[in-house]
Chain A
Amino acid sequence: SQTIHQWPATLVQPVGSPLSLECTVEGTSNPNLYWYRQAAGRGLQLLFYSVGIGQISSEVPQNLSASRPQDRQFILSSKKLLLSDSGFYLCAWSVAERGGGYTDTQYFGPGTRLTVL
């Protein structure tokens, strides 16, 4: 069966510090991978998604970046955190099939709670 891991579970960082959040998926090959942010009282905001190694699409311009160095590894980074970067960060994966009948059903990790002070 497939599993998705995220770490750390919680993180408190000062403004201006760097960030690295990691997500790994087990039990599937060539998944689509996603990074979302969920701010308090707000919906899921798609930040980045990837359909393959080294292929990253950015949905929202910001001071965050993403990388996919391996097939089942997705990393979210920042060189300098802002207060507005605080939130709940979620990684998700979906099956990489396209075409008739495809549905982008997504499976989420446990999330990382980031507080920037």
Chain B
Amino acid sequence: SQKIEQNSEALNIQEGKTATLTCNYTNYSPAYLQWYRQDPGRGPVFLLLIRENEKEKRKERLKVTFDTTLKQSLFHITASQPADSATYLCALDPSGYSTLTFGKGTMLLVSP
């Protein structure tokens, strides 16, 4: 069956460190993968998109990698800040012509 897996346990890190979140998928061949941020009681906000032919994408302190052989995407936040504390969701389009399927998300807690 098709699955998107994100670490269900919260990730606790200290301010200034690099946070790395993982998204694994099985039985998909997505053309792209997206990352969203969700704060408590709010809707998700789009952060980054990476296509299957891209190994890495950067935006300010954010970096996303996409390994279609491992079927994995890594999401990095460098020089993390307490304001980065949120739940991060990965999402992919199973066919390239349908709607997104979201992972359950990983909560990131950055301590001062």
Contacts and interface: CB of A to CB of B under 8 A. Distances in A.
Interface string B24-62: 000000011010000001111110010000000000000
Interface size class of chain A, counting residues whose CB lies under 8 Å from the partner chain: 20 to 34
Contacts of A113: 41
B34 A42 contact: no
Contacts of B103: 43
Contacts of A110: 42-43
Main secondary structure of the interface of B (DSSP, over half): loop
B93 A104 contact: yes
A103 B34 contact: yes
B34 to A, nearest CB: 6
Contacts of A103: 31-32, 34, 49, 93
Interface stretch (B12-20, B63-71, B75-83, B94-102): B94-102
A109 interface: yes
Interface residues of B, number: 23
Contacts of A111: 41-43
A98 B99 CA distance: 11
B46 A107 contact: yes
Contacts of B89: 43-44
Interface of B: 31-32, 34, 41-46, 49, 89, 91, 93, 96-105
* Among all A-B residue pairs, the 6 with the closest Cβ atoms: A108-B43, A43-B104, A44-B102, A90-B43, A104-B100, A111-B43
